[in-house]
Amino acid sequence: MIEETIMDALKVDVVLISKVTTYASSPAIFTELAPQSAEFPYITINITRNQTIGDLMLQDMSLMVDYWGYGATRTNARIASERIEFLLENKQFTDDRYSSIRIWFYSGGWVEDTDPRAIHYNHQFTVRACRKKWINQL
């Protein structure tokens, strides 16, 4: 599962995990939504599968990584934001389903909120993955 591969890449980075809380003895990095009992700051990742290219060979996806916090300063959020981009930009991963998962930064930055103490940084990435099933048939 691509989400787990991305989460694993984020959860092992000492700098990034120092900028989030823990939840159930793990860094507070979640797929889709954070549990209601999660404390700020935390990270959520969401993947939207877009089109499939070439007889199910390539899968295009959009990846959103959000840093959520609350407080008077954005210093940790800025550090975490830069680190997320560094950890995922132009990287290649593999997992059980895909032989190659390539990630490219698309856009990102601070997201304005009506509450001045709310801290939200959003990162958008383009993902292209090649299915192992197709590669193994060559």
pLDDT bucket at 94, cuts 50 / 70 / 90: confident
Domain 2-136 = CATH 3.30.2000.20: yes
pLDDT at 51 over 80: no
Report the pLDDT value the prediction gives residue 28, as an integer from 0 to 100: 97
Going by C-beta distance under 8 Å and a sequence separation of 6 or more, which residues neighbour residue 125?
62, 63, 64, 65, 88, 89, 103, 104, 105, 106
- Domain map of the chain by residue range? 2-136
Which tokens go with 121?
Answer: 């940084």
Report the pLDDT value the prediction gives residue 55, as an integer from 0 to 100: 59
In 3D space, the residue among 125, 126, 122 whose CA is nearest the CA of residue 113 turns out to be: 122
